Structure 1
Amino acid sequence: MAYETIKVRKLNPALGAMISGVDLSQDIGNQTFQEIHDALVENQVIFFRDQHLTPDQHKDFGRRFGTLHVHPVAPGIEGHPEILPLHSDAKKQYAAAAWHSDVSCDQEPNMGAILYAKVLPDCGGDTMWASMHAAYEGLSDKMQHFLSGLEAEHGSEHIFGPPKNEKDKRPTAIHPVIRTHPVSGRQGIFVNSSFTTRIVGMKPRESDAILQFIYRHIDTPEYHVRFQWEVNSIAFW
């Protein structure tokens, strides 16, 4: 795909690209927006370096792609409920060591996420993404056909704990195991070991066997891209 207003450098054949030549703190034009959108669809996760955004600018960029999502459980930063802070210290530790698709427990999961790095450890802290399109395409035709007829339940109580009151939400949703991307038309796997609880209509042992097979398949290194963070870097997936 040809790009005129941005530069796109692929990082892995399966997914991932570095985008340069654009300042996301500014009001990007329609052509630049469309090229960033196209790069996201083509590469599934895109990265930007050396971006300097206020919370409002962060949200303005996100709004170009749709309505902003508010996390159903975790609170956002003060004055900006759409921006979820991720940090670790002596009292609070995030450990996202398992593959997951953010809030797949929602009835309508968000189309993407824009993660902006402001404070980093001296070393470590890399993030990995896996292409669910490539993982699906790496299955046999018979397995693709089998999984395409299944649905899975996605829950959140086992992650966030039981509700504290009647207003406290712990969403649950049922989604197809194989989904079709609305823009590219590519099919991809849509289960993950964090939120997915079972295959609908199966006995627990049957469901567990299928899910564990999928999770092991997703571990294939050829489906992955790894990003080494720098301060003021952005990942959009």
Structure 2
Amino acid sequence: MRGTAKGSNAMKFRHIEVTRMTPTIGALISGVDLNAVKNPAVYDEIRNALWDNKVIFFRKQPLTPQAHLALGRAFGEMERHEFFPHVDGHPEIQTIANTGKKSPDTDRWHADCTFREKPNAVSILRAVEIPPEGGDTLWACMNTAYEALDEPMKKMLLELDAEHDISYAFRRMGYTGEARQLDATNPPYIHPVVINHPVTGKLCLFVNSIWTKRFTNLIDRYGESLLKLLNEWVMKPDFQVRFRWEQDSIAIWDNMATQHYAVFDYAGHNRRMHRVTCEPTKVRLNARPEASRPAPIAHFGEASMMTAMRPTLQEPMQGNGARPQPQPGMGMLDDSRMQRLSDTERRAVKAVFEAISSLDLADIARRSATV
């Protein structure tokens, strides 16, 4: 991940002008045309301004797709997203649009893609079509949120881990079909509750109200209360900056150091943005470097097993109430789907279906038809 570490408060910028918006988070950048950057030092200064201010903003920047991508590449490897559509001919540029008919499901505090082993470190959002009023976005600094906690709380959080799960979040939003499709390709991941920022090294809270499912080393009745407390804590205005969008405004935010909230107060109007995300980054707490890890199979194995079954098992029942009988044993499994599972999952799936192969399925179907 590119950039300098600590000490950027004293930095003198030669190629851009930086105006702080709050003492804690946010700065407005001017004095640069992002469509005409020729000197790599410009991108160096933009990166340093970001690490210092956590989120930075530009006005009147009608970025071409090429300039948008060049700005993203200045921070690292470009990504393609799981569920957002993209701009024609540019798969790395996501289209995030809302017609104003319903909430976009981002009107809650969150960081992007924390369910991944390596969430993106930086997001760059450009306003393409904005409502006549409303549609602001807020960001909150997770380093300040952590440092403002009492010492006993900070010490406890340094020992905790949490599970982040995309399919769990989608089910809560009501997208059950999409959740089933995501189970096999995006299994839950465990991250430390507090992380070291990959550039500055500062400690930041790393739980959020969308993707964080539970604490893995607290019993549920304690963990649920603590997660609710932390999700409410980051809402304090002391940690926040609010940005009012204009046409061709740009926001670049540090996804490892912030959470954001898209305000839905523009019902009946369109809001369309273009976004790139970049630099997949390993989540790390230096004091416990092995804390980030895949979630145990017990929490997602059932869904993974079901996706490994051949599609013929999902066919409608025959007239006598029985399903078409597959080949016994491992013939019930789809080899191509099995290859997408981990070694541990494959062993578990095979053990289950080897046990099933010893059953007389036809006899079970006859018995169930007479009940």
Would you call these one fold, judging by a TM-score over 0.5? Answer: yes
Is residue 152 from structure 1 mapped to residue 152 from structure 2 by the alignment? no
Is residue 202 from structure 1 mapped to residue 218 from structure 2 by the alignment? yes
Q: CA deviation at 1:216?
A: 1.6
What is the aligned length? 237
Amino acid paired to 1:227: F
Is residue 232 from structure 1 mapped to residue 242 from structure 2 by the alignment? no
Is residue 120 from structure 1 mapped to residue 152 from structure 2 by the alignment? no
> Between Structure 1 and Structure 2, whose CA radius of gyration is higher?
2
2:208 to 170, 179, 192: 192
* 1:87 and 1:93 in contact (8 A); partners too: no
Is the deviation greater in 23-32 or in 162-171?
Answer: 162-171
2:229 to 213, 218, 226: 213
Task: Note the residue ranges of structure 1 that are not aligned, 5 or more in a row.
Answer: none
Distance in 2 separating the partners of 1:10 and 1:132: 18
- Specify the alignment match of 1:41 in structure 2: 51
Is residue 136 from structure 1 mapped to residue 146 from structure 2 by the alignment? yes
Is residue 100 from structure 1 mapped to residue 110 from structure 2 by the alignment? yes
Amino acid paired to 1:190: F
* Higher helix residue share: 2
2:191 to 152, 175, 196: 175
- Specify the alignment match of 1:110 in structure 2: 120
* 1:73 and 1:170 in contact (8 A); partners too: no
- Specify the alignment match of 2:340 in structure 1: none
Task: Note the residue ranges of structure 2 that are not aligned, 5 or more in a row.
Answer: 1-10, 254-371
Amino acid paired to 2:25: L
Q: CA deviation at 1:100?
A: 0.4
Q: Cα 1:28–1:41, aligned 2, differ >3 Å: closer, same or farther?
A: farther
Distance in 2 separating the partners of 1:154 and 1:97: 19
Amino acid paired to 1:205: R
Tell me the SS of whatever aligns to 1:111. strand
Tell me the SS of whatever aligns to 1:86. strand
Tell me the SS of whatever aligns to 1:107. coil
* 1:130 and 1:218 in contact (8 A); partners too: yes
Residues 45-87 of structure 1 deviation map (CA, whole Å, 9 limit, x = unaligned): 0000110212222111101110011112333222222222111
Distance in 1 separating the partners of 2:142 and 2:100: 34
* 2:84 and 2:95 in contact (8 A); partners too: no
- Specify the alignment match of 2:92 in structure 1: 82
Is the deviation greater in 153-162 or in 34-43?
Answer: 153-162
Q: CA deviation at 1:92?
A: 7.1
TM-score by length of 2: 0.61
Distance in 2 separating the partners of 1:48 and 1:112: 16
Distance in 2 separating the partners of 1:191 and 1:151: 9
Residues 10-54 of structure 1 deviation map (CA, whole Å, 9 limit, x = unaligned): 001110000001111123422211111110000000000110212
* 1:15 and 1:131 in contact (8 A); partners too: yes
TM-score by length of 1: 0.93
Distance in 2 separating the partners of 1:44 and 1:197: 25
Q: CA deviation at 1:191?
A: 0.5
Amino acid paired to 1:143: M
* 1:72 and 1:171 in contact (8 A); partners too: no
Q: Cα 1:72–1:221, aligned 2, differ >3 Å: closer, same or farther?
A: same
Distance in 2 separating the partners of 1:85 and 1:186: 32
Q: CA deviation at 1:213?
A: 1.2
1:68 to 57, 66, 78: 78
Amino acid paired to 1:6: I
Amino acid paired to 1:22: V
Amino acid paired to 2:234: I
- Specify the alignment match of 2:290 in structure 1: none
Residues 171-225 of structure 1 deviation map (CA, whole Å, 9 limit, x = unaligned): 4221111011122121110100011000112221111111111112111111000
